[in-house]
């Protein structure tokens, strides 16, 4: 299936890359692997062929601290966000909205996961 990355995530990744141009991209990703394909995941294309999740590599040595980034997203309460996962924690815009809680899936300690839906406007990441 042909797919495209949600344009809001393209914009978010571009903003991150502009702020941290030398950050590692080792754990970056969008389209899901075989593990993701076997289950419901925003890394899989939706019915329109849109992938609505990205992973961004945690690389504080090169100016991208995923914990700081995730917290900025949480505090800004951007309506496009569905949920964010980092370091065995998750927050959502709908389940216990905007509150961190324990995440029992893979720890996401090498990258931050961002899932979206909503209207395209510039991201506030500061």
3-state secondary structure of 38: coil
Residues 11-50: tens digit of each pLDDT: 999 999 999 999 999 999 999 777 766 778 899 998 888 9
- Could you identify the residue written with the tokens 């978010």? 12
Is the model's pLDDT at 126 over the cut of 80?
Answer: no
Q: How far is CA 3 from the centre of its chain?
A: 17
Residue 80 tokens read as 């496009």
The predicted-structure confidence for 60-111, as pLDDT tens digits, reads as follows 999 999 999 999 999 999 989 999 999 999 999 999 999 999 999 999 999 9
Token look-up 């914009």 returns 11
């Amino acid at each position: 299936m042909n797919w495209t990355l949600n344009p809001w995530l393209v914009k978010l990744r571009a903003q991150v890359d502009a702020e941290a141009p030398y950050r590692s991209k080792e754990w970056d990703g969008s389209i899901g692997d075989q593990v993701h394909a076997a289950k419901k995941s925003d890394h899989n294309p939706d019915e329109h062929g849109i992938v609505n999740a990205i992973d961004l590599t945690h690389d504080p040595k090169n100016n991208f601290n995923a914990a700081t980034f995730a917290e900025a997203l949480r505090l800004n309460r951007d309506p496009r966000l569905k949920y964010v996962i980092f370091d065995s924690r998750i927050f959502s815009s709908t389940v216990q909205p905007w509150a961190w809680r324990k995440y029992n899936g893979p720890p996401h300690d090498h990258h931050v996961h961002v899932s979206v839906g909503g209207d395209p406007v510039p991201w506030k990441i500061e």
